[in-house]
Amino acid sequence: MLGPVTVKEPAKMVDLSRREQWLFIPLVALIFWIGIYPTPLLSRSDASVRALLATFRARTGSPQIVWSTSPPP
């Protein structure tokens, strides 16, 4: 990595093969989709997170915070 260049023609070196590119493109698209529209992914874990918070509140006696999906008045 930091040694001398052993390849005579660095222009022929390829970062990603065609197979890697075809695997990489859907992964990048999925990452963008989750970033733009995370609701389907987050809604799947909503019930588990609420149960975990309820258990935590019951054991620690912390007050319940009411989360609202509607905008403030």
Each residue's pLDDT expressed in tens, for the chain with a length of 73 residues:
677 777 676 656 677 788 888 999 999 999 999 999 988 888 888 889 888 888 888 888 777 666 666 555 5
Tokens 């698209």, residue located: 29
């019930």: which residue's tokens? 47
The predicted structure's pLDDT at residue 27: 93
Q: Would residue 72 count as lying in a domain?
A: no
Cα separation, 19 vs 25, whole angstroms: 10
Instruction: Answer yes or no: are the C-beta atoms of 13 and 7 closer than 8 Å.
Output: yes
Examine residue 20 and state whether it is found in any structural domain, yes or no: yes
- Residue 61 confidence (pLDDT): 79
Domain-located, residue 11: no
Residue 33 in domain: yes
Structure tokens at 5: 């260049």
Residue 66 lies in a domain: no
Residue 51, in any domain of the structure:
yes
| CA 69 to mean position of chain CA atoms | 22
pLDDT value of position 3: 78
Give a yes or no: residue 4 inside a domain. Answer: no
Number of structural domains found in the chain: 1
- Residues 56 and 63: their CA atoms lie apart, in Å, by 10
Domain range for 51 is 16-60
